[in-house]
Amino acid sequence: MRTDGFHPQILKVCAYTGFAFAFLWPFAANVVAHGQYILPPSAADPATKVVSEYLAHTTGIRIATVIFIFSSILYTTWSASIIQMARLRERQWPILFNIMLISVACEVVVVMFIGFFFGAASWRPGETSPEVTQALNDLGWLGVLFTGAPFALFQIALAVSILMDHSPRPVFPRWSGYFNLFSSFFMCEASLLLFFKTGPFSQNGVLVFYVPMIVFFTWIIVFTVLTVRAINGEAAAADVAPGALEHLGAGVAAR
């Protein structure tokens, strides 16, 4: 029996919350909010049009924003399972572990405030001036697309951890390190929305919204699977080791 506090079931439950997060956000954005956040409006829309969208789907948007905020808990637990597995190879100098941990803390604040700003916009649509609702809506979208720095930092630190792992039994496959670097590019590229209100680099553009979102949620699903595999591999190694020691002891005794 291991005495280092390794609990594979707890780690796997945390890892599986990545699937829940990857489902809840698109579900809330598309189904609950009536497509309000899956088909983002143009940044060039007038404030009156923004208000009309909020008035048409007020209840759905409010429920969706609650889901956005509370699902940040799931993003936290999912990230923690990855960080804990990556921690195995750093020993007593866990600088990459600490970078990822701080990055996750920043990411969770971002995820919560996305829902907060959209929720604030849906609180008094039609009661406050259209410009106020539009400003809060803009803050929500900037939170979605203009705050990729901590996400990119997490992915880069994880990539470095994976690529530096030359142990006989690496935690994550080497290709996943390059996948992290690939994903981190799109977390930064989405910030280009600040410079465009129309076109592919705008708020509802293919290269700023759709491609980065597809890459982001694909990354979550891929690392959920890889983390569960890593946990199972660690558990299997823990089961084999005592058996190997018993077999060795029996062989020595026979001699």
pLDDT band at residue 4 using 50, 70 and 90 as cut-offs: low
Give the pLDDT of residue 252: 38
pLDDT band at residue 48 using 50, 70 and 90 as cut-offs: very high
Task: Give pTM, 2 decimals.
Answer: 0.88
Quick check: 251 pLDDT over 80? no
Contact (CB, 8 A) for 145 and 209:
yes
What mean pLDDT value characterizes the chain? 89
User: Whole-angstrom Cα distance, residue 186 to residue 205?
Assistant: 13
Give the pLDDT of residue 123: 95
Give the pLDDT of residue 196: 92
Give the pLDDT of residue 250: 43
Quick check: 5 pLDDT over 80? no
Choose the weakest-confidence range: 76-80, 127-131, 134-138, 238-242: 238-242
Give the pLDDT of residue 231: 95
pLDDT band at residue 36 using 50, 70 and 90 as cut-offs: confident
Mean pLDDT of 161-181: 94
Residue 237 corresponds to which tokens in the numbers above?
């190694």
Mean pLDDT of 69-90: 92
Three-state DSSP class for 22? Answer: helix
Contact (CB, 8 A) for 29 and 183:
no
Contact (CB, 8 A) for 74 and 92:
no
Mean pLDDT of 215-224: 97
Contact (CB, 8 A) for 101 and 76:
no
Q: Which long-range contacts (CB under 8 A, 24 or more apart) does 52-61 make?
A: 54/121, 54/122, 54/125, 54/126, 54/133, 54/137, 55/125, 55/126, 57/33, 58/122, 58/125, 60/32, 60/33, 60/34, 60/36, 61/33, 61/34, 61/36, 61/118, 61/119, 61/122
Quick check: 239 pLDDT over 50? yes
Nearest to 97 by CA among 108, 110, 86, 81: 86
User: Whole-angstrom Cα distance, residue 167 to residue 237?
Assistant: 14
pLDDT tens column, 201-213: 999 999 999 999 9
Three-state DSSP class for 99? Answer: helix
Give the pLDDT of residue 254: 45
